[in-house]
Amino acid sequence: MTAEQNQVKLGLDGILAFESSIATIDGNIPELIIRGYDIKEIASSLSFEEMTYLLLYSTLPTGDILNDFSEELASLRDIPSSVLHVLSTTPTEAHPMAVLRTAVSLIGASDPNADDLTDDDNLRKAINLTAKMPTIVAAQSRIQSGKDPVSPNPALGHSENYLYMLTGEKPDPVDLKAFETTLVLYAEHETNASTFACRVVVGTLSDFYSSVVAGIGAIKGPLHGGAIDDAMRMFMDIGSPDKAKPYVETALSNKQKLSGFGHRVYRAGDPRAAELKDLAREMSTSHGDSQWYEIAQEAEQAMKNSKNIIPNVDYYAAIVLYQLGFQLNMMTNVVASTRIAGWSAHILEQYNNNRLIRPRALYTGARGKKHKSQNH
Ligand code: ACO
């Protein structure tokens, strides 16, 4: 291998592309620090509103500041009729993430200030999309089940209202706590693929919405956020705990990747997965339905014994969201609807210290070919 080839970092593995004060991961400890706080400290103690404020303004809100911010989010939840029309007229076989991507793009195309790149206006857009994306996702879920969307209730907090829009009923406290913690755990994760996609778009000085649409496109993929839907499908394919070990061993012998396992940065364990495993166990008990948790546990053990590969955030989160009533193909949409908070923080940071993101490629193609015109 030449010195030049040695410089290629396939998948940009380990490359530091920019400075950031938002979050950092240490895969060896393992730990995830967000705005100075260990995720294990804040996952179950912060509301989604507090987490979003922390991401956007770098500090935790208290008292009136938190109340005002929560009210602002609640006041922006309604989605325009044009977006509802798109949700109800898009072909039913469309991928729910493609529909979410289209809905967000339409909100952007309808914003007369879409190309205002100032901090103030980008914050306005961030808060607006953070408030609206759950309304879109809950409406998608209900339309998919042949039900009418439920209008947001401004008297409810962000997470409670999200579940209310999904089911039409106020959630019980155990479900609400599990959901809120899941939203907080997913809200931000350093330079993951979708966040990087957002920053690449900002790097060209394109607008906030174009950046978020790129993020949605990236997180849709099965190697990223799309893995949550696939993890739940895998548990269903396995069918019962006793079949987990042979399922995993057969898949590995066929060189298949198993969804919900592995991570580029965490090799010794994803701290979010540990929290979500506890939540999945609690939800299984409270819903009296432990089969998915038992299957997941058996498959985790089989994977550990065979390849020592860790479950990532999506593995047990799939069970939590499924128990909460989200359909199999809607879970990535939920992830995108909370990651908007982290994307927004990165978008603001990128605008404030921007340089066009433009790496190089090691050319492996031909040279010296001659084109012969057809006229000769
Ligand atoms: N199933 C089976 N084997 C795996 C898995 C898996 N899920 N993940 C990694 N491996 C194996 C690889 O085959 C490779 O083995 P080898 O050295 O024998 O060839 C080794 O572990 C290293 O894996 P890489 O592919 O080099 O890891 P990379 O950092 O490129 O990929 C990724 C990370 C994409 C997350 C990968 O683990 C994967 O495909 N996982 C399944 C999809 C998934 O769950 N994605 C969600 C990630 S978290 C998130 O984005 C929300």
Look at ligand 1, atom 1, and give the residue with the nearest C-alpha: 257
Per the structure block, which two tokens stand in for 186? 């997913």
Query: What are the contacts of 69-76 at 24+ separation with CB within 8 A?
Result: 70/157, 70/158, 71/154, 72/127, 72/131, 73/49, 73/127, 73/130, 73/131, 73/158, 74/131, 74/152, 74/154, 74/155, 74/156, 74/157, 74/158, 74/161, 75/131, 75/154, 76/127, 76/128, 76/131, 76/132
Look at ligand 1, atom 4, and give the residue with the nearest C-alpha: 257
Query: How remote is the CA of residue 260 from the centroid of ligand 1, in Å?
Result: 9
Confidence band for 237, pLDDT divided at 50, 70 and 90? very high
Flag the least confident range among 4-18, 51-65, 157-171, 316-330.
Answer: 4-18
Q: What is the pTM for the complete model shown? A: 0.97
Look at ligand 1, atom 8, and give the residue with the nearest C-alpha: 262
Confidence band for 7, pLDDT divided at 50, 70 and 90? confident
Q: For the segment 21-66, what is each residue's pLDDT rounded down to a tens digit?
A: 999 999 999 999 999 999 999 999 999 999 999 999 999 999 999 9
Q: Is the peptide bond before 241 cis (omega within 30 degrees of 0)?
A: no
Q: Which of 25, 258, 303, 309 to mutate to test the pocket of ligand 1 (most atoms within 8 A of CB)?
A: 309
pLDDT at 274 over 70: yes
Residues annotated as catalytic are 263, 314
Q: Which of 307, 314, 331, 339 to mutate to test the pocket of ligand 1 (most atoms within 8 A of CB)?
A: 307
Name every protein residue with a CB atom under 6 angstroms from any ligand 1 atom: 11, 192, 223-225, 227, 257-264, 307, 309, 312-314
Look at ligand 1, atom 27, and give the residue with the nearest C-alpha: 264
Q: For the segment 334-375, what is each residue's pLDDT rounded down to a tens digit?
A: 999 999 999 999 999 999 999 999 999 999 999 999 998 766
Give yes or no for a contact between 338 and 185, defined as CB atoms under 8 angstroms apart.
no
Query: How remote is the CA of residue 214 from the centroid of ligand 1, in Å?
Result: 22
Mean pLDDT for the stretch of residues 173-184? 98
Cα gap 124→69, rounded to integer Å: 12
Mean pLDDT for the stretch of residues 93-119? 98
Query: How remote is the CA of residue 189 from the centroid of ligand 1, in Å?
Result: 17
Look at ligand 1, atom 44, and give the residue with the nearest C-alpha: 260
Give first-to-last CA distance, the chain, whole Å: 42
Outline where 308-359 has alpha helix (H). Answer: 313-324, 331-352
Residue 5 confidence (pLDDT): 57
Residue 119 confidence (pLDDT): 98
Over the chain, what is the mean pLDDT? 96
Q: For the segment 126-164, what is each residue's pLDDT rounded down to a tens digit?
A: 999 999 999 999 999 999 999 999 999 999 999 999 999
What ligand 1 atom has the least distance to the C-alpha of 192? 50
**Cross-strand bridge partners of residue 106:** none
